[in-house]
């Protein structure tokens, strides 16, 4: 049984006049922020504000790079070459790093966003291209990999530091993948249920799939989606339960 866990959440997804997410509120409950880098979401002003907000809340910062597709919020797959993926991610890591540096924070981690992240789950070469981008920047950046996927193999093969991620607010398939968002109910918005799933994952090392089967997971960081209805309530419940169980919440990099 674990005595500590990281909680990560996507942050900084506003753009210009467009506001998205409740970053200020959510920062109270998380330990690591995945910050958009201006391609699928975010802009330099938003990045500056988000990094400052993270610092004020003692939250560690990471880059959340995505496809160059603001109109699609990075949720539409693009047929990029591996070299393009590598360079696009390196660019975004650098951009976010500048703001972290300006605030005296280290850049802790990298987590691929949206359709690029989903592709990485199932495509070893894409996963390795993402890892290479991070490694080219620094040998110390932590790659967030979705637990149980090919990304773990990619991380091992490229010898990049990594942590495995599990989801508090998503229904799992028996094979450990996430049930598609298209299936009604695949996003868990009941705080009790999400908190229960989180606790079972952390304390028991498994998650119960939609057919009742138990899927082994190795949680190092727990993802809660900021845009899930009731995200704040979910996070409050999770934090409360973790406290009762004497499990501390700390950034993955500490």
Check residue 71 and report its DSSP letter.
G
In the bound state with a copy of itself, the residue whose beta carbon lies nearer, of 37 and 201, is 37
Q: What is the nearest approach in angstroms of a copy of itself to the Cβ of residue 106?
A: 14
What are all long-range contacts of 203-212, with beta carbons under 8 Å and residues at least 24 apart? 203/1, 203/2, 203/245, 203/247, 204/1, 205/1, 207/166, 207/172, 208/172, 209/171, 209/172, 209/173, 209/174, 209/176, 210/171, 210/172, 210/173, 210/174, 210/179, 211/174
Binds a copy of itself (CB under 8 A): choice among 1, 3, 71, 175: 71
Q: Which of residues 2-21 bind a copy of itself (CB under 8 A)?
A: 15-18, 20
> Pick from 204, 192, 188, 169: which is nearest to 241 by CA?
192
| 106 lines the binding site for a copy of itself (CB under 8 A) | no
Please give the distance of CA 74 from its chain centroid, rounded to a whole number.
Answer: 14
Tokens of 67: 């496809």
| 204 lines the binding site for a copy of itself (CB under 8 A) | no
Question: Interface with a copy of itself by CB under 8 A: which range of 62-70, 160-168, 193-201, 246-254?
Answer: 62-70
Q: Reduce the DSSP state of residue 195 to 3 states and report it.
A: helix
Q: Are strands 206-208 and 214-216 parallel, antiparallel or unpaired?
A: antiparallel
Task: Please give the helix or strand (H or E) that residue 110 lies within, else none.
Answer: strand 107-110
Interaction pattern, residues 133-162, with a copy of itself; x per rule: CB under 8 A = ---xxx------------------------
Question: Interface with a copy of itself by CB under 8 A: which range of 53-61, 70-78, 151-159, 195-203?
Answer: 70-78
Question: Interface with a copy of itself by CB under 8 A: which range of 22-30, 82-90, 202-210, 216-224?
Answer: 82-90
Q: How many residues belong to the site for a copy of itself (CB under 8 A)?
A: 44
Question: Interface with a copy of itself by CB under 8 A: which range of 80-88, 121-129, 143-151, 173-181?
Answer: 80-88
Q: Which residues bind a copy of itself (CB under 8 A)?
A: 15-18, 20, 38, 41, 43-45, 47-48, 68-73, 75-80, 83-84, 87-88, 90-99, 101-102, 115, 136-138
């Amino acid at each position: 049984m674990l005595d500590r866990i990281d909680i990560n959440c996507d942050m900084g997804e506003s753009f210009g006049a467009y506001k998205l997410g409740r970053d200020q509120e959510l920062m109270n409950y998380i330990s690591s922020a995945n910050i958009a880098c201006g391609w699928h979401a975010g802009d330099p002003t938003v990045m500056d504000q988000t990094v400052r907000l993270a610092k004020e809340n003692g939250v560690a910062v990471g880059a959340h790079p995505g496809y160059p597709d603001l109109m699609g919020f990075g949720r539409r797959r693009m047929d990029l070459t591996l070299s393009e993926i590598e360079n696009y991610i390196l660019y975004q890591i650098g951009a976010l790093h500048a703001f972290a540096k300006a605030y005296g924070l280290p850049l802790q981690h990298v987590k691929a966003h949206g359709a690029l992240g989903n592709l990485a789950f199932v495509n070893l070469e894409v996963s390795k291209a993402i890892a290479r981008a991070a490694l080219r920047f620094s040998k110390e950046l932590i790659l967030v990999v979705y637990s149980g996927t090919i990304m773990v193999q990619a991380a091992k093969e490229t010898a990049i530091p990594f942590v495995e991620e599990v989801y508090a607010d998503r229904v799992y398939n028996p094979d450990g993948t996430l049930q598609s968002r298209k299936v009604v109910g695949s996003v868990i918005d009941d705080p009790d249920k999400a908190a229960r799933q989180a606790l079972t994952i952390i304390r028991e090392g498994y998650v119960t799939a939609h057919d009742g089967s138990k899927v082994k997971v190795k949680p190092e960081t727990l993802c809660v989606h900021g845009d899930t209805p009731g995200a704040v309530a979910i996070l409050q419940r999770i934090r409360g339960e973790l406290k009762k169980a004497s499990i501390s919440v700390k950034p993955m990099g500490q």
